[in-house]
């Protein structure tokens, strides 16, 4: 069948968009590959009413609630390609199934690329994290390291002393001038210019890090901003413009979460330089409303 809206991505953003459209009684399809960015995290924090809940549990409940609406269909699978224009979009799934819709919402998230340091990847989302607001409280009063991976990493280093004693590992990425040195000192942040070459301990825990000169620095948690890129190339296939963010490119938006292509909306991490569950959900609400109102007006 043909739908009013196909939503690609069933995470916080996609399901929030779907809920608005379901309640507007519009026939919609949610396509989800089941590979959310937060699948490595045991709990989601800072999300009002869901603080401490497992992301998978939140999404199971979201699916249960959405399934009560008769105009909502779900497909577990990956959207391989998308083409078309306003009122005539076509999405081809990886299994060859073809679905059509008048509007699209892309909520496909981003893929993370961590620094190539042994021991980081297996701890990602557990003791190696990216968001102080999402995970800082859980490592409060522990020894925290900030691993520089982009020029603005010092911003993270200045924030984290609110949660625990912090060391800023510049990794040759950030030059600490007199002004920055003064700010870090005022916040009690230690600065280490010798690069980390290995994370130590029994994963997912961290006992310390090995530095390039052989020294061992004791640590219990690491924050770093991975390089990010859209997890799907559907936006590029549809000729949606991208713009550069702090950690990588994201879909460029106009008003109401619409992309630069009429009829294509986007929400969540794939369309924002700020990555947070609450922000993704709110953007999904706006994308769902934007898509619905475009069908009317």
**How many independent structural domains does the chain possess?**
2
User: What pLDDT is stored for residue 246 in this prediction?
Assistant: 87
- Please, what is the average pLDDT of the chain? 96
Instruction: Note whether 71 and 25 are same-domain residues.
Output: yes
Asked if 14 and 82 sit in the same domain, the reply is yes
Whether the Cβ atoms of residue 150 and residue 126 lie closer than 8 Å to each other: no
Per-residue confidence (pLDDT) for residue 221, from 0 to 100: 98
For 138-184, the pLDDT digits (tens) are 999 999 999 999 888 999 999 999 999 999 999 999 999 999 999 99
Domain end (from 197, 223, 249): 223
State the DSSP code for 262: T
pLDDT tens for 48-60 read: 899 999 999 999 9
Do 207 and 278 share a structural domain?
no
Q: Is 252 found in the same domain as 190?
A: no
Gap between the terminal Cα atoms of the chain: 23
Say yes or no: 261 and 131 in one domain: no
* DSSP letter (8 states) at residue 14: H
CATH for 218? 3.50.50.60
Alpha helices (H) along 116-206: 132-135, 153-159, 178-186
Residues 6+ apart with CB under 8 A from 52: 43, 44, 45
Show the domain range for 290.
2-112+227-296
Neighbouring C-beta atoms of residue 187, cutoff 10 Å: 15
Give the pLDDT score at 37: 85
The whole-number pLDDT of residue 152 equals 86
Instruction: Tell me what pLDDT residue 219 has.
Output: 98
Cα separation values, 179 from 123, 135, 185, Å = 33, 28, 10
Q: What angle do CA 3, 9, 11 make, to 5 degrees?
A: 125
- Among 205, 223, 241, the domain boundary falls at 223
Asked whether residue 195 falls in the same domain as residue 64, the answer is no
Residues 87 and 134 in one domain: no
Domain boundary among 223, 245, 279: 223
């Amino acid at each position: 069948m043909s739908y009013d809206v196909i939503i690609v991505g069933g995470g916080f953003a996609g399901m929030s968009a779907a809920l608005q459209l379901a309640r507007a009684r519009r026939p919609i399809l949610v396509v989800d590959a089941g590979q959310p960015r937060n699948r490595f995290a045991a709990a989601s924090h800072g999300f009002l009413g869901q603080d401490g809940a497992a992301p998978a549990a939140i999404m199971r409940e979201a699916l249960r609630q959405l399934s009560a609406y008769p105009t909502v269909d779900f497909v577990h699978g990956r959207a391989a390609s998308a083409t078309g224009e306003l009122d005539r979009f076509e999405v081809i799934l990886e299994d060859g199934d073809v679905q059509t819709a008048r509007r699209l919402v892309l909520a496909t998230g981003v893929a993370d690329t961590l620094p190539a340091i042994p021991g980081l990847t297996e701890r990602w989302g557990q003791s190696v994290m990216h968001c102080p607001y999402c995970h800082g409280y859980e490592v409060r009063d522990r020894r925290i390291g900030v691993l520089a991976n982009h020029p603005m990493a010092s911003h993270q280093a200045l924030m984290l002393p609110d949660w625990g004693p912090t060391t800023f590992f510049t990794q040759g990425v950030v030059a600490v001038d007199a002004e920055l040195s003064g700010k870090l000192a005022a916040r009690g942040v230690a600065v280490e210019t010798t690069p980390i070459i290995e994370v130590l301990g029994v994963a997912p825990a961290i006992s310390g890090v090995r530095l390039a000169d052989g020294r061992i620095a004791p640590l219990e948690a690491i924050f770093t901003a991975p390089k990010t890129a859209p997890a799907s190339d559907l936006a590029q296939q549809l000729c949606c413009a991208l713009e550069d963010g702090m950690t990588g490119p994201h879909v460029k938006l106009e008003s109401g979460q619409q992309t630069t292509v009429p009829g294509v909306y986007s929400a969540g991490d794939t369309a924002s330089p700020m990555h947070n569950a609450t922000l993704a959900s709110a953007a999904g609400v706006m994308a769902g409303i934007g898509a619905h109102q475009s069908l009317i007006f």
